[in-house]
Structure 1
Amino acid sequence: MRRSRFLLTLTILVLFFLTATIWYVAWREDRRGLLTVSFLDIGQGDSIFIDAPSGRQVLIDGGPNAGVLRKLAEVSPWWDRSIDVVIPTHPDGDHVGGLIDVLQRYTVDTIIESSVQGTTATWNAVEKAVHAEGARVVIAHRGQIVDLGDGAYLEVLSPDRDVPNVDTNLGCVVTRLVYGETSFMLPCDAPQVIENYLVVLDGGGLHSNVLKAGHHGSKTSSSPFFVGFVDPQFAVFSRGCDNKYGHPNQETIDTFARFNIKALDTCTEGTITFVSDGKTVTKR
């Protein structure tokens, strides 16, 4: 009798746990019409995680090392082991080093990369991991649209041609994330010559609520011309606290101040997350 009562109690507890787990997963999977964009605190480098209202996910760059896995675990459910799209913007190690581990841990459907060629051992290891993953590989070109569902999409602004032999920063993949009336400008390490070229091509179409400061706040990016057309409410410096490059440069800080743009910094704030309902963008 006692054994039967014990088994009944155990069965009820197991069923309760399973039911609670199912409801928790369902709750976590319901984005409630919200787009979430997280600029991950991965030290000196870039890594941006996009969670669309449809549930589709994009990772733009992976920072310098495996530390990105810990940061991804902080912004995505523990059971989630897939990412729909990964974009290594260019071969520099501070952007792609962590993707080696990401590709080993997560199942990736599509990889969108620049045609710019890398020559480092890190980039060779990334390319080997891409091949092993078996994901669909797309070479980025201006005009491509990545449909994230439920009205969210990512548009490629640059490069506008094959760029196998240019400087890696010149050939990096510049994207703009759009959801409803809101948008995020994500210019990788693009220098001012690319920024100003985009102003000529797109003008007011560059306007975005959030701008990731190009090249971690270096003075080689964030030209006043470009920043003025983007006209963001927020700018984000993605960088390590004690980086040897002096990022962000005071000239860039002054540019944002001149335009009354609120500048945020992963060094001092950790991972920076924004939420959009398609009408407004708020910092979480």
Structure 2
Amino acid sequence: MYILIIPLLSYVLPSRSDEWQVNILDVGQGVSVLVIKNNRALVYDVGAKYPSGFNMADAVILPILKAKGIGHIDWLFISHGDNDHAGSLPFLTQGIAVNNLVTNTDRCQLGFSADWQELNLAVLWPQNPINYSDNNGSCVMKISDGIHSVLLPGDIDKSIEQNLVELYGAQLKSTLLLAPHHGSNTSSTTPFIQTVDPEYVVFSQGFKNRWGFPKADVVTRYLNSGVRHANLYSISQTGQVRFVFAGQYSAKVDILTYRFDLYPYWYANMHNCCANRW
């Protein structure tokens, strides 16, 4: 009798996995990161809204969540109030339930820590955002499973990078780094890069953006600090990038990009014609 119940329980109860994925979404000149584990979601930043009414929640984030069958967001973190990071917030909260909304004006500050499905969520900065510019008051978050970790630094500049290096030292080390401030030359200093020591770096920026992000000097600093050229990803070239971490018992990382892997039709795949991502 009990043997017959086991298959029924496995069908009714959802299976749990150590695997988790980090999706750097293609929201143009802006940032939105979707973390998924066991079909549950965490979002860091939501991209921009525009005077026309077009916004990245309706255009990108909500369709992805719907396609994956995710009916609510467990955690929504907003790094700071700039439009390219927070503009779509009202549209997102209208379109899907959010269990926990955390911004840098409340709990998304130094000292915040939470466990979410065996992942540790830790906010490393700011101490108090009113003491800093909008960019330097960005909520800096690290997500870790004990082996793999992701550092999400918002738009901080070199002065805050130095503070983080002094505060945390080797604790900053991360598998994946979202390049601060989209690859601006005011950020991504050599001491910061070398302390974080990332294996993978993603620049979340728009195609032919007016600031020229990522700056050539910034790309050079990452390369000179030991990051392989093949491990530098520019969202304007690759589209959405998905990092799949096997969990705390394996060092395996799988990487998929929208243009080269997730949408590989001959008329959309640029791999053969545009091997140089920059």
Give TM-score, length-normalised by structure 1. 0.77
Match of residue 85, structure 2, among 92, 95, 109: 95
Whether 1:282 aligns to 2:266 is no
Mapped partners of 2:15, 2:179: distance in 1: 31
Match of residue 52, structure 1, among 14, 21, 37: 37
Shift of 1:31: 5.7
- Asked whether the 8 Å contact 1:37–1:275 carries over to 2, the reply is yes
Which amino acid is the alignment partner of residue 244 of structure 1? R
Q: Deviations over 1:193-247 (max 9, x none)?
A: 1111111111111111110000000011111101001111110000001211111
Q: Deviations over 1:131-173 (max 9, x none)?
A: xxxxxxx422212112112x2121000012x222531011010
Mapped partners of 2:233, 2:16: distance in 1: 25
Gaps of 5+ in 1: 1-22, 116-137
Secondary structure of the corresponding residue to residue 34 of structure 2: strand
Match of residue 111, structure 1, among 89, 101, 107: 101
Tell me which residue corresponds to 1:227. 193
Tell me which residue corresponds to 1:16. none
Tell me which residue corresponds to 2:70. 80
Give TM-score, length-normalised by structure 2. 0.79
> Which of these two proteins has the greater Rg computed from alpha carbons?
1
Mapped partners of 2:144, 2:132: distance in 1: 28
Give the 4+ runs in structure 1 shifted more than 6 A: none
Tell me which residue corresponds to 2:45. 61
Shift of 1:99: 1.5
Mapped partners of 1:47, 1:277: distance in 2: 22
Higher helix proportion (structure 1 or 2): 1
Percent identity reads 29
Mapped partners of 2:146, 2:65: distance in 1: 23
Q: Deviations over 1:171-206 (max 9, x none)?
A: 010001101311011111011111111111111111
Mapped partners of 2:66, 2:198: distance in 1: 26
Secondary structure of the corresponding residue to residue 130 of structure 2: coil
Gaps of 5+ in 2: 1-10, 50-54, 257-278
- Asked whether the 8 Å contact 1:38–1:48 carries over to 2, the reply is yes
Tell me which residue corresponds to 1:122. none
Tell me which residue corresponds to 2:261. none
- Asked whether the 8 Å contact 1:188–1:215 carries over to 2, the reply is yes
Tell me which residue corresponds to 2:132. 166
- Asked whether the 8 Å contact 1:81–1:105 carries over to 2, the reply is no
Which amino acid is the alignment partner of residue 282 of structure 1? D
Tell me which residue corresponds to 2:208. 242
Q: Quickly say closer, same or farther: Cα 1:31–1:94, change in 2 above 3 A.
A: farther
Whether 1:186 aligns to 2:152 is yes
Match of residue 241, structure 2, among 269, 272, 277: 272
Shift of 1:283: 1.1
Which amino acid is the alignment partner of residue 87 of structure 1? F
Whether 1:143 aligns to 2:111 is yes
Shift of 1:78: 5.1
Mapped partners of 2:182, 2:16: distance in 1: 30
Mapped partners of 1:78, 1:207: distance in 2: 31
